[in-house]
Amino acid sequence: MTLFRSTLYATVAIYAAFSLPANADEKLDLANETAKYGYAQGFLIGQRFKQKLKGDQVDLKSFAQGLTDALTAQSQMTVTQIEDTMKKGPVHLRAEKEKKMKANADYLAENSKKDGIKTTASGLQYSILKSGPADGKSPTASDTVVVHYAGTLVDGTKFDSSYDRGQPATFGVGQVIPGWTEILKLMKPGDKWAVVIPSELGYGKRGAGGKIGPDAVLLFDVELISIK
């Protein structure tokens, strides 16, 4: 989680720092109107942060010190160290993420060994289930296509299917996840391919909806019906 990615978070963090006592054991004089106002501001802002900080299991003492150091320009970490730390994400989730990424790599490596599997330079994998006319034209990123598809996770969970809806989907080739854009530009009308999309070419660490979690490898049967 990039805590200070948005201007809103940065602004809230600065206000929160102003509301913190210099010493954790210092008693506030809440009979003082200035102190009362500062406390009320800090409390309300803290409520907004509460669930996010709890979810990331942030150490509040270190968090408060980081805010103070930012305001006084006395950082105890370099900018690079801070960026690297934030990229790694919450500590309690790192082992889980590393395990997931290893499982993804193992799955892709094993799948690449299967007969008929082709792997592109980006790591996208596909096999041809059916071919359309050889003289067909592949779409470009600016084209709109009509496609039938079914999507599942590696454990077999189906998360989407135009077949189940009984109607193909229509969308711009350049308006979908990178893996879809890449594969569509390789296909021709009438082609039906089985596609394996690595997480970085799919929804990445953010996931999508309730069924596609972070860093999910996506499996699709993709049938390019026509180019509009």
Nearest to 12 by CA among 49, 39, 40, 38: 49
CB burial of 4-23 (b: ≥16 within 10 Å; e: otherwise) equals eeeeeeeebbeebbebbeee
Catalytic site residue from 45, 126, 160, 197: 160
Burial of 223 (0-12, 13-18, 19+ CB in 10 A): buried
User: How far is it, in rounded angstroms, from Cα 136 to Cα 148?
Assistant: 18
Q: Which of 49, 82, 177, 221 is catalytic?
A: 177
Is residue 18 flagged as an active site residue? no
Residue from 149, 212, 215, 227 carrying the catalytic annotation:
149
d(CA 14, CA 123): 42
Q: SS3 of 93, please? A: helix
Our answer to whether residue 203 is catalytic in this structure is yes
Please confirm, yes or no, whether 106 is among the known catalytic residues: no
Which of 39, 143, 159, 221 is labelled catalytic? 159
Choice among 212, 215, 220, 227 that is catalytic: 220
Q: Given 203, 212, 215, 227, which residue is catalytic?
A: 203
Answer whether 205's CB lies under 8 Å from 134's CB: no
Nearest to 181 by CA among 152, 144, 151: 144
Tell me the residue type at 162: S
Q: Does 143 qualify as catalytic in the annotation? A: no
Contact present, 70 and 17 (Cβ < 8 Å): yes
Is 117 labeled as catalytic in the residue annotation? no
d(CA 94, CA 118) in angstroms, rounded, equals: 32
- Residues annotated as catalytic are 149, 159-160, 177, 203, 220
